[in-house]
Amino acid sequence: MDFNRRTILGATAAAASISAVGVNAQTKPRPNILVILADDQGYSDWGCFGSEIPTPNIDALAAGGLSFTNFFVTPRCSPSRAALLTGTWPHQAGMGHLSQITIPGSQGIAGKLLDRVVTFAELLKEQGYFTAMAGKWHLGIESGTGPDIRGFDRSLASPQGRVYFPDQKGGQVSNQQIFLDGKQYDISDPAIGPGEWYSTDLFVDYSIKYVREARAQKKPFVLYLPFVAAHNPLMAPAEDIARFKGKYMAGWDVLREARFERQKKLGILAADQRLPPREPNTYNWEKLTPKQRDEFDTMMAVYAAIISHMDRAIGRLMAELKSLGLLDDTLVMLTSDNGANAETGPDGILTGDHPGDPTSSVAAGMEWSTLSNTPFRYFKHFAGEGGISNPLIVSWPRGIDRSLNGTHVKGMSHLVDVMATLLEVTGTQYPKTFKGHELIPLQGRSFASTFRGNALPPRQAPLYFEHEGHRAIRTEQWKLVQNWGQPWALYDVTTDRSETNDLVNVKPQQAFDMAAQWNSWAAATFVDPWSVAYNQRVFGRTQRRQNWGEDQTPKIPEAIDTVLKW
Ligand SMILES: [Ca+2]
């Protein structure tokens, strides 16, 4: 007995010592982590995904890494950020709707990140990482849930985004606040930045500062860089806009077909993929007057200028990482938080003497959003592929097999998978509790195996979506999707990702089973059934909205191709 006990104790001590040696032997530095998030940019807005907007720096990241072509996000800003940062579904994190939007009694719409989830910054900070963010937070700063208390050592955080210039007055967004390490400032306060900054550059300036701080502390870094580009109100420096003015006079249909053809050539899309017609309630470019076309051209020129400027800013950050000798050991992930935004309907918005300047109000509207989301249907807010599909570009020179550079990952992944991936590459465990709070179990799965060239196995569980009653469930082959108040539709996404051929009457059992699965998921993840009462609470009205999300009457009815009234 004694002997056995000594042996066991001895074995345990030996195991502990081997384990300690094992840890010490792993002196290979853990990667730096850079997560870049665009705002409201569509699936086809970057050159490497078919855009005519030049994005050489983003394209270079893709050429030196992996592009995920079946990557998914949630339909809206705050829910996507919640899934990205926590690896749980948005309602589980409390963010089923936007920052500050609450519904009494709802467990999933709490307006801020709840304590039942943990951010990757919180977990990696405990592993010795220097953690920082610069950009749009949108997870409840106003309710006391800012980045400074959710794991970020350093932060420059805009509560809701929509900030481009310090003296911004346009777009009904003025007198904004911004938080520096948890302390509140007016955005125009010189403590934030000198002179007439542009937020895309400001966020990169802070990012560079934070990277240098991490280096000085000899720590690996986690840097989260959520740009406000290209959320409404669209604003960009005049010289950027001038570069694009006049480039959109061919109209949305011609440009969309050109993006579609490039996507097929690039291998983004299957050769037999179809390009669906524009949604009802959109304008026919050919029926617009020259003046109207010129106005629409201006809206898209501002949008393109924002993306082009973001690309240059990303290039500047990459150059800095390279000059500091950090680029090879930095895992970069780049995506957007939801598809392009059609909230402003067929007309978009164009006001101000110099559209795109700090006093103007510009939004691109439904037709240009249709271009951005090529080849998909629907927009931000919706669970149609246009609302939930974005590229994911992953670069990590020392961590991704070099032979994979420039290739596409076709397996299905989602923002909810980022946490699991970061935990795998940093050798970090997801805990059961954090700071005394029991945690929702991790929902995503790591896609780090793709860095070694392994195909992602088919997902065990489907992906699920819900926002404002728009909902979907998606497997590798099937997608069941519904706009609020409309019937379910079923698509075989292996051949019909642009949702043109509804099979719900051909495969009723498939649809029934998936709807039941969606209901079980919703019940288990705090997703409330959306209702007229929820509309009243969130939008201040009960009626349904038009197919772009609002209910204005189009200003040029004679140029509308097909009218659909919900
Ligand atoms: Ca967004």
- Write out pLDDT tens, residues 288-307: 999 999 999 999 999 999 99
- Evaluate the CA torsion angle 289, 295, 299, 301 in order and state its sign: positive
CB-based contact 46:58 (threshold 8 Å): yes
Residue among 288, 216, 221 nearest 252 (CA): 288
CATH number of the CATH domain containing 88: 3.40.720.10
CB-based contact 528:534 (threshold 8 Å): yes
Strands 177-180 and 183-186: antiparallel
Q: Comparing 439 with 535, which gets the higher pLDDT? A: 439
Q: How far is the CA of 181 from the centre of ligand 1 (A)?
A: 23
> Is residue 320 a part of any domain in this protein?
yes
- Structure tokens that stand for 463 in this block: 């992906």
H or E stretch covering 411:
none
Is the pLDDT assigned to residue 126 strictly greater than 80?
yes
357-410 tens-digit pLDDT: 999 999 999 999 999 999 999 999 999 999 999 999 999 999 999 999 999 999
> How many alpha carbons lie under 13 Å from residue 319 in its C-beta half-sphere?
9
- Evaluate the CA torsion angle 7, 8, 10, 15 in order and state its sign: positive
For residue 98, what are the domain limits?
A: 29-450+462-553
* Pairwise CA distance, residues 546 & 566, whole Å: 6
Of the chain, the percentage scoring pLDDT greater than 90 comes to: 87
SS3 256: helix
Q: How far is the CA of 128 from the centre of ligand 1 (A)?
A: 31
Strands 177-180 and 154-158: antiparallel
Q: How far is the CA of 39 from the centre of ligand 1 (A)?
A: 4
Q: How far is the CA of 229 from the centre of ligand 1 (A)?
A: 9
* Pairwise CA distance, residues 71 & 66, whole Å: 12
* pLDDT band per the 50, 70, 90 thresholds, residue 22: very low
Residue among 474, 306, 476, 421 nearest 66 (CA): 421
> Is residue 183 a part of any domain in this protein?
yes
Q: How far is the CA of 80 from the centre of ligand 1 (A)?
A: 8
Is the pLDDT assigned to residue 441 strictly greater than 80?
yes
Q: How far is the CA of 336 from the centre of ligand 1 (A)?
A: 7
> Is residue 512 a part of any domain in this protein?
yes
249-275 tens-digit pLDDT: 999 999 999 999 999 999 999 888 999
Which residues participate in catalysis according to the annotation? Answer: 77, 138
> Is residue 563 a part of any domain in this protein?
no
> Is residue 445 a part of any domain in this protein?
yes
* pLDDT band per the 50, 70, 90 thresholds, residue 9: very low
> Is residue 10 a part of any domain in this protein?
no
> Is residue 18 a part of any domain in this protein?
no
Domain count, the chain: 1
CB-based contact 61:51 (threshold 8 Å): no
Is the pLDDT assigned to residue 452 strictly greater than 70?
yes
- Structure tokens that stand for 466 in this block: 């819900």
H or E stretch covering 479:
strand 478-482
Burial class of residue 361, CB neighbours in 10 A (0-12, 13-18, 19+)? buried
- Evaluate the CA torsion angle 143, 528, 497, 410 in order and state its sign: positive
> Is residue 13 a part of any domain in this protein?
no
* Pairwise CA distance, residues 46 & 50, whole Å: 6
